[in-house]
Amino acid sequence: MYFDWDDEDFDDETPENIEEKYKYFRKYLKNPNKNDYQRPGVDVIESLVNYSIDNSKFTEALEFCNIWIEYFPNAIEPKIKKALILQNLNKSNQAEDLINQVLEINPFDNEAMLIKASILEGKGNYNEALEIIDYLLLENNDNEEIHFQKAIILQSSGRYKDAIKILMFLLKSDYNLYDVKFELAYTYNLMGEYKNSAETYLDLLKDFPLDENVWYNLGVTYNSMGKFYKAIECYNYAIALDNDNFSAWFNLGNTYLSLGRVTNAIHSFLEALRIDPNDFDTLYSLATTYNDNKQYLSSIEFYNKTLAINPNHFQSLLGRALAYNSIDDIQNALKDYLSAYEISDYKPEILFALAEIFYNLGDLTSSIYFLDKVTILYPESIDLLVEAAFSYYDYGFKSEAYKLANQIYNIEKNNAENLYLLALIDASNNLIKKSIRKLIKSIKLNPDLFKKISLDFIELVPDINDFIKNIEIQIKK
């Protein structure tokens, strides 16, 4: 069916009429048989482009804009609009090529130059962007839009104080109160001035109480301040205004985790996945949350999804291996550990994990091989060397443990954990007096080690109660 858009009811461009036109002509874009619907005409196409941009419907805006360019192939305005749309679709190279074509025709088009500056800012070319802005301000110093764009570029480049000066100046004018206050609050947040940021967002909410973006950003600021309950309240307001606010659901999940409310966190992450089922960060957060909560089968399910997206994600391989290990699926755990090892650049956590799993499998040669790797690759890290020495001891490699512990002692004589290990080795060799001397010194350096004595030494000394009493007496002297 073919419709002719001549109804006088739609002659005036009220917001309602433009929205109705958009809905009608969107059917033209979506319908494979274009003859069933009237193509948008010259009189309405610009309004459709602007409506689509204003409502962040950039895919439709691009299609409408292409029709506009067909009508006026030599006109500059539709090409400028298309460049703006391409930029919002993260097609910055195409946007820059198009805006350069415009500037070849008219090198002094202010709107084109402003978009060019914005594109350069998006690419991180801040100095070039500022050169364009400063050039524009030479002739247009009273143009508040250009000043605002300069503030955004300064903000992106990390020059926060300069950005705030401009934004504070614009607050005194009539220029877009919402954008200025929003960016001012955001800049304060980037600076770490969270109190000022929160106060500015709260001030903005007086005029825009139903703005989900302000509520969300206020939640982010409260999070940064450690005010987690207030952050949760703000995220919930944002979600109440838009139940499909992915970022609010995701941040809500992380905030619940900060408070140890695991069930709420899992619910929030699942809601985020309802909106974007393939978001890697959410899938990974959910997998690790299940893992930490000992829900290993669910953890494996979501690690499978992260690894389907990125098979070489080290932390997912390591997390899934830990989950498999926790349900005694040793072979799958070993497979993941070895895959992680291949891409890990010999990270110590994977070396220790492989040493442990090979020990559990009874492959002592491979176990000691990976512990040796730690000592060879990280000779300057006392903490890792001590951990390796303890692992040698725990796995029954006492001569290697003693040798390494003595090497550590020669480097750092007052390392409490290493002295504790030497005391263990002495006790295992029935050198009780030597053990006590080292144990007393280690406990004086780290009193928390006293709590471990009963468990660690019970099989190494004749009477653990007398041994502990002796230690207590010696410490009090």
**What are the pLDDT digits (tens) for 331-351?**
999 999 999 999 988 899 999
What is the pTM for the complete model shown?
0.79
Q: How far apart are CA 353 and CA 347, in angstroms?
A: 10
Mean pLDDT of all residues in the chain?
91
Q: Would you give the DSSP letter of residue 9? A: G
Helix 280-292 vs helix 246-258: crossing angle, to nearest 10: 20
**What are the pLDDT digits (tens) for 253-289?**
999 999 999 999 999 999 999 999 999 999 999 999 9
pLDDT of residue 10: 42
Q: Would you give the DSSP letter of residue 450? A: G
pLDDT of residue 11: 46
Q: Which own/partner pairs from 392-397 qualify as long-range (CB within 8 Å, at least 24 positions apart)? A: 392/368, 393/421, 393/424, 393/425, 395/355, 395/359, 395/364, 395/367, 395/368, 395/371, 396/364, 397/364, 397/368, 397/371
User: Residue 463's CB: how many other CB atoms inside 10 A?
Assistant: 10
pLDDT of residue 175: 76
Residue with tokens 């954008």: 179
Q: Which amino acid is at 291?
A: N
Q: How far apart are CA 189 and CA 339, in angstroms?
A: 40
Average pLDDT of the residues in 233-246: 96
Average pLDDT of the residues in 224-248: 97
**What are the pLDDT digits (tens) for 7-53?**
444 445 555 677 777 877 877 777 666 555 567 778 888 888 998 89
pLDDT of residue 2: 31
pLDDT of residue 5: 37
Asked whether the predicted pLDDT for residue 449 surpasses 80, the reply is: yes
Q: What dihedral do alpha carbons 72, 73, 79, 82 form, nearest 10°?
A: 80
**What are the pLDDT digits (tens) for 98-153?**
999 999 998 888 999 999 999 999 999 999 999 999 999 998 998 999 999 999 99
Least confident of 91-95, 199-203, 274-278: 91-95
pLDDT of residue 15: 59
Least confident of 34-43, 172-181, 212-221, 397-406: 34-43
Question: Bigger pLDDT: 11 or 3?
Answer: 11
